[in-house]
Structure formats: C-alpha cells, structure tokens
Amino acid sequence: MISIAALLLLAGCKKYLDEKSDKKLVVPSSLADLQSILDAYSKMSFGEPGEGEVSSTDYYITDANYNSLSKDNLRRLYTWQKDYLFESLSNSWYFGYTSIYAANSVLDQISSVPPGAERDNIKGQAHFFRAKQYLNLAGVFTPAYDPATAGNDLGLPLRLNTDFNAPSVRASNEATYQQIISDLKAAIPLLPVMPLSPIRPSKPAAYGLLARTYLFMRRYPEAGRYADSCLQHFSRLIDYNTLNAAASYPLAQFNAETIFFSVMATPAPINPSRAKTDPDLYNQYTANDLRKTVFFKRNTDGTYAFKGNYSGMLAPFGGLSTNEILLIRAEAAIRQNQTTAGMEDLNTLLKTRWKTGTFVPFTAALPAEALELVLKERRKELLNRGLRWMDIKRLNKEGANITLSRTVAGQVYTLPPNDPRYALPIPEDVIQLSGMPQNFR
C-alpha cells in the first residue's frame, strides 16, 4: 500500500507553483498544474478540524494533564469558554479557507484548459474539496442547522473565487448548506467511481459527503437516498476477526472501508497520551465485541486510550468510510419507519465486529427502540472522527437533551443543550480584520 510520504512526493506541486506566493503573476495553465494544486495533500486533506472532537466528551483528561497544556487557548476550548479558543494563523478557520482558496483557484482556471474527461475529473475534485471544507467549518463555527431559523442564523463567508479584495460577509446558515449541496451535486457527475488514490475524491465519496450533509441538516430521506447511492458503488466491510488487535494501530491506512482518506488535526487534549476514554462509554462494549480490543489500549493506570483510527496512525481519521455511510442509511430508514431495513443495515455492520460465532442479530419491535440502538452504535463505531460534536448538536435539536459536563480541579463546567457555544467563536484576528459579526451576538 502506498504510504502517505510517497503520496506527498507524487502529489508535490511543480517548483514554480510552490513559489507562487512570491511570483503572483504565475497562473497554473495546464491540467497537470491544476491537478497538482488539488494533490497538495497537506493543504487539502491533512488537518480536518479537531476542535469539535476536543469539545465533545467521549474522553477526558486529568487535572495534571489539563494543567500541563502549554497553551491557554486549549484549556479554554476544553472548558467551553466563549472566546480566545484559537491561535492566530494556526487554526481550522485558517486552514479551511486556505484549502477553499486552492479549490477556487482551480475552478477559476478550469475553463482555460482543453475539455475532456480529465478536466471534468479535476473540476469535480475542486467542487468536492470546497464542499468538504465548508461542511467542516460549518460543523465547528455555525449553529446546528434548523430549517425554522437557518435563513437568519449566521453561517460562513462563502468565498467562491480567488478575488481577495472582495469583502468577507457571513452568509446565512441556509445559504451555507445550500452551497455545500450545490458543490457536491456539481461534483457527482464529473468524478470517477474509482479514483487513482483514496486521497482523491470519487463519485462514492461525493455521494457519501452529501449523505453526511443531509444527516447534519436532519433531512433524513435525502441522507438515506445518497447513502444508498454511495453504497451501490462502495460497500466493503472489514471483518474485525482478521485484525491484529494487539497492534499499535490495528486498522491500516487506506483500509478496505476507506472511501475517501483524510486526517484530523490532533490538538493536545485528544492526543492518546492524554485523552482517556469515558469509562461509561468503554463499558458499553461487550466481551464479544471486537471493537473493545481493536479500538482501545489499556493504560498503566487502568484507564483506556483510543487507538482505532482508520488513518492507521496517531492522527484521527477525518475521511469517509463504509461503516459511517451504512449507519447513515440505517438511521435514515428507521426515522422513516422502515425499521426492518434499518436493522438489517445495523446487523450487517455489527456482525463484522463480533467474535466469530457469537453475534446474535439485534432486534427492535418499534422504530423508537431501533433508533436508540442505531444511535448508540453510531457513537461506539465512529469514535474520534469529529462527528460526535455535530451529532450532539443535531440530536439536541431533536429533543435529546444531551448536556455535556466536565470537572477540572473540582470545578464543574457544563454545556446545556442548544447553547450558543456549540458554534465556536471565529478567531478574534479574523473578526478584527474582516469586521464580520462574531458568534454569541
């Protein structure tokens, strides 16, 4: 399997493109140039937002580790403060818009190169990357999508070209999500079913990201439909009985379930050297559930650290995989009272996670019971991917009444359902430079 290092070498931009910041008149002029921009893996896919994962509570850190954090902004992030959560020019807002600018530079130039399948593919990739980054940023910096208020809720500045003189103005949350949907629907017919590498977008990846988008919007029929479209093209599952649970990272990079590969940033609080799995969550895994040993390693103090990254390394997986999409289809079916179909999808997944010969299919007589099961398994299956933060936001809009709580040095910090702090503050330097309204108005 090709390593990340090798892919970075293969995907490196040409020397004169690397120097573009110093030679502002240089413009990419060929398909190879444009593809090189999108293949800059460290810019496009290495560093998905980790702030939502820091803010969720599938883990905790000790008081000693809290006090040892070298940056005050991380302590503020961990305790859900309202401001100064980010370092200047080293945060998800900065990296997200850097990636969006790269996608826009390709879309601005794509009409100047000869038409054909390769141009279509590159154009589709650019639309996918732009949508991915806007969805990532919306998950962190905007409130949960609510159809009743989305037209007035503050969304993101929608930069759709490379004109840096245009002012940054926050669009509504409705316009933000509609732009994400528009980009993904533009990408789908242009992308191949099988990409050259998992770091490049594909048709199944675009379908899958669209399913995730509609799930976050709580538009479950569309989420289920696009999850199904993804699974029609890509439905591989890993039998966890074939994994070496004792390995440092049992799930390999580019494993069989990987639809699109990217990784999250790893802020210090969620580094496994500090982050300890919530014991109540860990105890939900039964003895015959192989995830209990594939996902976790026992620390010397008896706590557990997470090691089940689909990235095959310390950095958490931030891409798309079959297990997520199957769970989206299952949830969407159950929410439409198609309980049998939803439970079939759930059992299809879980039988690959249990010790051979021990799995007894889950059953549910009523949709409410089935929904409780699938949401519980979604949390257990998709740990450490940045998805839990968005799930808490959307589920609280459904009335789940999830209150987050942490105790540091005897002081209890809480985050009630639907609190404005679920939309993290935009970095203060961005607000100062742009004049945009901040969250928590």
Q: What are phi and psi of 406, to 5 degrees?
A: -140, 150
The pLDDT tens digits of the residues spanning 78-108 come to 999 999 999 988 899 999 999 999 999 999 9
The dihedral over CA atoms of 38, 42, 48, 54, expressed in degrees to the nearest 10, equals -170
DSSP letter string, 130-195: HHHHHHHHHHHHSPPP-TTTTTTSEEEE---SS-TTSPP-EEEHHHHHHHHHHHHHHHGGGS-SS-
What are the distances in angstroms from CA 81 to CA 238, 384, 420? Answer: 40, 22, 11
Enumerate residues 6+ apart whose C-beta is below 8 A from 191.
121, 124, 125, 128, 201, 202, 203, 205, 206
Domain spans in the chain, listed from the N-terminal domain onward: 4-241+318-434
pTM, two decimal places: 0.93
Q: What is the pLDDT averaged over residues 244-257?
A: 97
Of the listed ranges 68-72, 144-148, 153-157, 331-335, the one predicted with least confidence: 68-72
User: Is the CB of residue 177 less than 8 Å from the CB of residue 183?
Assistant: no
- Please write the tens of the pLDDT for every residue from 382-396: 999 999 999 999 999
User: What is the spatial distance between Cα 382 and Cα 333, in angstroms, rounded to a whole number?
Assistant: 19
Answer yes or no: is pLDDT of 1 > 70.
Answer: no
pLDDT at 3 over 60: no
- CB-CB contact of 82 with 20 (8 Å): no
Under the phi-then-psi rule, with left for phi > 0, alpha for psi from -120 to 50, and beta for the rest, what region is 435?
left
- Topology, domain 4-241+318-434: 1.25.40
